[in-house]
Amino acid sequence: MGISGYTFGVVVPADSPHKTFNDLVAFAKANPDKIAYGTPGQNTSLHVTMEEIAWKQGIKWVHIPHKGNAPNMLAILGGQVNAAADATGWGPHVDAGKLRLLVTWGDKRTKRWPSVPTLQELGFGIVSNSPYGLAGPKGMDPKIIQVLHDAFKKGAEDPIHLAALEKYDQDLWYRSSEDYAKYARETFDAEKATMERLKAQSK
């Protein structure tokens, strides 16, 4: 069963000349390897998605991996990278006016930053939120699956859980057992192709 996913986005320093995500992409396209972006780690969803964007747009930018959100934020706040792709650890810095949020990666705009467009809106054809859910061992009795599904669905829709999700800028992303399994297979295939491209580029 699918439960939720994270709010990802790209931020730049408040004084960056790149006012929109399209500005950043256009500059990167015209100036190969001149944009360095940080993520919380190599081969994370953030890294893979940024390279998927680069591949689709025919651009080259430099990935700077960090060991988590905190050093990634220190790098962007300290001017060591031009942009940072991360989950909403950037939120307080955006709200304080230190960073500018250019784009988010969900299937709709966020409640907290409703003026910021999504990758889909901008025509990139990408939704990336690293969704998670619940799974069991192969060959489980369908009756047991149904009982567990119904119980967890009820818990996921509980107001206490919804409030906890909202605290972390997340939405409920319910998917049935069948839909979640289908999504997982399709996502695995798509990300495997991207990883293979990245591996080939690094040789």
pTM of the shown model: 0.88
Mean pLDDT within 168-195 = 87
Mean pLDDT within 190-199 = 76
pLDDT tens, residue by residue, 61-94: 999 999 999 999 999 999 999 999 999 999 999 9
> What is the structure's pLDDT at 202?
59
Q: What is the CATH number of the domain that holds 109?
A: 3.40.190.10
The residue type at 188: F
> What is the structure's pLDDT at 200?
64
Contact 2, 173 (CB under 8 A): yes
Q: Nearest-CA neighbor of 101 among 13, 184, 192, 185?
A: 13
Domain contains 17: yes
Domain contains 170: no
Domain contains 138: no
Alpha-carbon distance of 4 to 174, in angstroms, equals 7
**Which residues, 6+ apart, have CB-to-CB distance to 193 below 8 Å?**
none
Domain contains 20: yes
> What is the structure's pLDDT at 117?
98
Q: Which domain holds residue 55?
A: 2-130+182-201
Structural domains in the chain (count): 1
* Residue with tokens 């509980």, as numbered in its chain: 158
Pairing between strand 83-87 and 2-4?
unpaired
